[in-house]
Amino acid sequence: MSHRCPAVPFSAIVVVALAAIPAAAQTAPRTSWGQPDLQGIWDFRTITPLERPEDLGDKEFLTAEEAANLQQEAVDRDIRLWEQDARRTEAGGNVGGYNNFWMDRGTTTIETRRTSLIVNPPNGRFPELSPVGQRRTDERRAYLEEHAADSYVDLNTSDRCIVGFNAGPPITPLAYNQNMQLLQTPDLVVVFTEMVHTARIVPLDGRPALTEGIRLWSGDSRGHWEGDSLVVETANFSDTRRWIPLGSAAPGLVSTANMTLVERFTRVDADTLEYTFTVTDPETWTSPWTASMPMQRTDVSLFEYACHEGNYSMEGILAGARAEEKAAERATNQGSR
């Protein structure tokens, strides 16, 4: 079969991305029909950032001591936030976000101690924005500064509970509900994320991709096997999806409908699933970029995820914006008297 998403970006980085996978991958569990068994619930929490912090420069790996210190700091932070006294908010002020009870960021770096999940470019950071990507980002940032909540469509798809902000695709660690369940048959794979409970059904039987005119929130995926790795190629994203590498991206940055994605799932051993993905979007970045991370098998069931408990918060967000507009109008009218 022909694969519509170019594999070329992987050619230069496969050795880097998968170098840490031991020979145990050759003896990873297999299904009754002979394919690598990728099934299970996989935990992708980590304190390793998607993008390498600028102050680390060209430092690709942490020392064992540096990683241990970061992990202890994460534990200490959680304990401090859990034990701190409750504080009251004031009407008209910033009420803040969720308290630490709701957070589940993880407390460990990835096993290799790499300083970022991004492995290509080699500096561990996003490529430069393309000229059109920079212009679009600047325009969107300027618009949102003046029109943050004119309508529900001004809010991103995570705020609107349409897609999970860590569920992707691609899957990127962030905040909470960082689990994914993978199910497979000889002809289909289902990637089911805990956040927003998105079930992405990936055919493996060679059926043709959807036409360009059919666009989906999570794109249109097709999969095939390359050795013991499941390769999933995704395109046809909805133009209104506007995926954001949340927590890392600059304000105003969103992907385009023409973004393509190549993901690789490799069962390293009984308890580890290596997840590697490459994003290609010339209308946003000057070159493709690749990230890789291990997911750990867990016996804990997926939790129910009720985004905004029916999205009641949307009414509050929009009503608050209208109240601010009325207050500004009253102030203007009083000043003109």
Q: Which residue ranges of the chain lie beneath pLDDT 50?
A: 1-25
207-218 pLDDT, tens per residue?
999 999 999 999
* Per-residue model confidence (pLDDT) at position 313: 82
* Domain housing 59: 8-83+99-305
Say if 329 falls within a structural domain: no
* Per-residue model confidence (pLDDT) at position 80: 93
Say if 133 falls within a structural domain: yes
* Per-residue model confidence (pLDDT) at position 325: 92
Smallest CA-to-CA distance from 265 within 223, 221, 231 is with 231
How far is it, in rounded angstroms, from Cα 31 to Cα 145?
Answer: 52
* Per-residue model confidence (pLDDT) at position 9: 40
For residues 173 and 50, the answer to whether their CB atoms sit within 8 Å is yes
Smallest CA-to-CA distance from 118 within 53, 197, 32 is with 53
pTM: 0.87
* Per-residue model confidence (pLDDT) at position 18: 43
Say if 315 falls within a structural domain: no
Say if 47 falls within a structural domain: yes
Say if 322 falls within a structural domain: no
Number of domains into which the chain is organized: 1
Say if 324 falls within a structural domain: no
* Per-residue model confidence (pLDDT) at position 15: 37
* Per-residue model confidence (pLDDT) at position 337: 66
Say if 250 falls within a structural domain: yes
Say if 111 falls within a structural domain: yes
